[in-house]
Chain A
Amino acid sequence: MEFYAVCSIFVMLGFVGYVLQFFAVHSAARESGKNCNMTDPVAGNFRPPVTILKPLKGLDDSLFDNLASFCQLDYPQYEIIFTLQDNNDPAFRIASKIRDKYSHLDITIHVERSAFGLNPKVNNLAPAYARAKHPYVLISDSNVLVERNYLTVIAQHMADPGVGIVSNMIRGTGGRSWGAIFENLHLNSFIVGSVCMLDRILKMPCVIGKSMLMRRTDLEAVGGLSAVRDVLAEDYVIGKRMHDAGKKVVLSTHLINNVNEFWSMKKFLNRHTRWGKLRWKIGGLRYVSELIGNPVFVSCLPIVFWTANEITVLTAALVGSMKILGDYLLARSIDCDMKPSRYLLVPVKDFIIGCIWFIPLLSQTVIWRGNRYLIGKDSCLSPCSESAFGVFTQRLTQSLRDRLAWAWRE
């Protein structure tokens, strides 16, 4: 009974956090769509020349549309650099088609195999960054689809010289496979909620790497890409360095779409395991709040570890139902395109996320875009050869075996 009582307290705490997230998203969503600083005529007309850097690797869902959306921006002067590590990358074909289709725009495809650091995205970006023409750079992921006024809206923040970096709220769209549905459910609840809560309530600098607009001078002043070449969370580190240097880190309420249509469950699990490891290494004990902030998972614990009676099952069902309704309303506030019936999967998704939560406590390796790394404090990466991985798993297995043997003797 005590276990049930403790879990119930955590469930209530989780809901308190959830309500805060809910209101943070609502407040951001109210601003979304409205141009920031519209009352300031200088900011409203601030449209500096921008270089858009698009690191490409492999085929993302709707890659053609994603890249095309950057060619349809209502913006006076910008260049786009598609950057790849390999001519044989399937994304090269798409980039070439886009360049041919929008031949009137300033589009370059840069292919260069770079071993600048361990972060593959930074490796991809570095050669293109060196070729950027304009004083402002926008680093934008390939799985992002934007509206025509996107650059106009976010560039206005840069009218304030105190602003160092602008990133955006993201919204998961598409969702046809199980993995993609789970991904979008998670992006449109936990991720958007956490980001808005950090930014609006806790006032912590929060940068989403899917879209980062900066002055090149500011980026270089905080160490440039060299400073983040060996970290997994380059977005977090750039944001933190900007913040430490006294620059404002702005989270624009202009929503950008992260298109996830045909993700496999494996990809969903891999991404959230990687992100979990990243938050564990950056946040330390604060990572525990994520488990408490998952009321569905916590409400299921008494069923698994105590007893499946009427009270525990009813509690879990009630919590699950409230979460379904909450996530549905949350997603509606950011205009998500998901069918209402899919929100019935929210408790399943939350339970899976709860199980994944424990993996970062046991494993220090991440697989990203086909590469395996060891991840350390503040998401610092170090090479993880198969032999190193073998040594690690051997140690882990040995440790588990020793503990089991000890328990058996007891």
Chain B
Amino acid sequence: MLLCDFHIHTTYSDGSIELRKTIDIFGQSGFDVIAVTDHVVNTDSTIGAIAHRFQYSVTEKTFDTYLQAVRDEAVRAWNKYGMLVIPGIEISKNYISREKSAHMLILDVKNFIPADWSYEKIFLEAKRQKALTVACHPHAMSGMSKNTYYLWNNREKYAKYIDAWEVANRDDVFSVIGMKQYPYIANSDFHKARHIYSWKTLLNCRKEVSAVKSCIRHNRGVAITLFRN
């Protein structure tokens, strides 16, 4: 089965490790498929504005450079490690209220999608780009992480747009996703080197972007594993 992680940040947003080194960390650890998903943060809130002020967000201006860098690294990762790298973003709608906040991954993104758009518009644009949408850390997290409940609280409305939900994120497991029988994956939400040791996804499919997306969408041949050294 393919060892995968679809939620990875670099210094293009708030990750602590630059893109090339991040790719190397995963390649050196034997991963088969990863997605680089730096934050695209909303600007219509104080928290979002702060993220932009400190350049913790990919913006419309930097998106092309970011996408090209990920694609260049994807070629290198394939040649060196036989590892598939999928470009993505994490749309991050951050508000003071955790009930209003939500994060979602857009995997295999082709064009910039602003986080200020409405949820429907974002999901429809992702579909138009044939990208995969994943609801990130949709339930209560441990530690100092800020919870993002919006998508879970409004699941009746949005579940139809969402291809998969994170059933586990880093050290947290969200059992409610399993109970609802939603399609699931598990990711590290990688920001620091030590985050590599966390929940991961195993996929039983070919090592190609289309096959990976299809496998997640149909949620057959998907398993999760706690990756430890």
The chain A residues found within 8 Å of chain B, CB to CB, are 58-59, 61-65, 90-91, 93-94, 97, 100-101, 176-177, 261-262, 264
Contact = CB atoms under 8 A, between A and B. Distances in A.
B193 A177 contact: yes
Contacts of A100: 82
Contacts of A177: 193
A93 B194 contact: no
Nearest to A261: B193
A261 B30 CA distance: 17
Nearest to B30: A93
Given A63-B29, A264-B194, A97 B3 contact: no
A65 B28 contact: yes
Query: Is the interface on chain B under 10, 10 to 19, 20 to 34, or 35 or more residues?
Result: 10 to 19
Contacts of B27: 64
B119 interface: no
Contacts of B28: 59, 61-65, 94
B81 A97 contact: yes
Interface in B22-44: 24-25, 27-30
Interface of B: 3, 24-25, 27-30, 81-82, 193-194, 227-229
A87 to B, nearest CB: 13
Nearest to A91: B30
Contacts, number: 39
List the 9 shortest-distance A-B pairs measured between CB atoms, nearest first.
A93-B30, A262-B193, A64-B28, A94-B30, A58-B229, A59-B229, A62-B28, A59-B29, A63-B28
A63 B26 CA distance: 11
7 contacts: A59-B30, A62-B24, A64-B81, A93-B30, A97-B30, A262-B193, A262-B194
Contacts of A65: 28
A180 B99 CA distance: 41
Contacts of B81: 64, 97
B229 A90 contact: yes
A261 B22 CA distance: 13
Given A62-B28, A65-B28, 5 more contacts: A59-B29, A64-B29, A91-B30, A94-B29, A94-B30
A176 B25 CA distance: 12
Contacts of A62: 24, 28
B215 to A, nearest CB: 19
A265 to B, nearest CB: 12
B30 A90 contact: yes
A58 B196 CA distance: 13
Contacts of B24: 62
Contacts of B25: 262
Contacts of B229: 58-59, 90
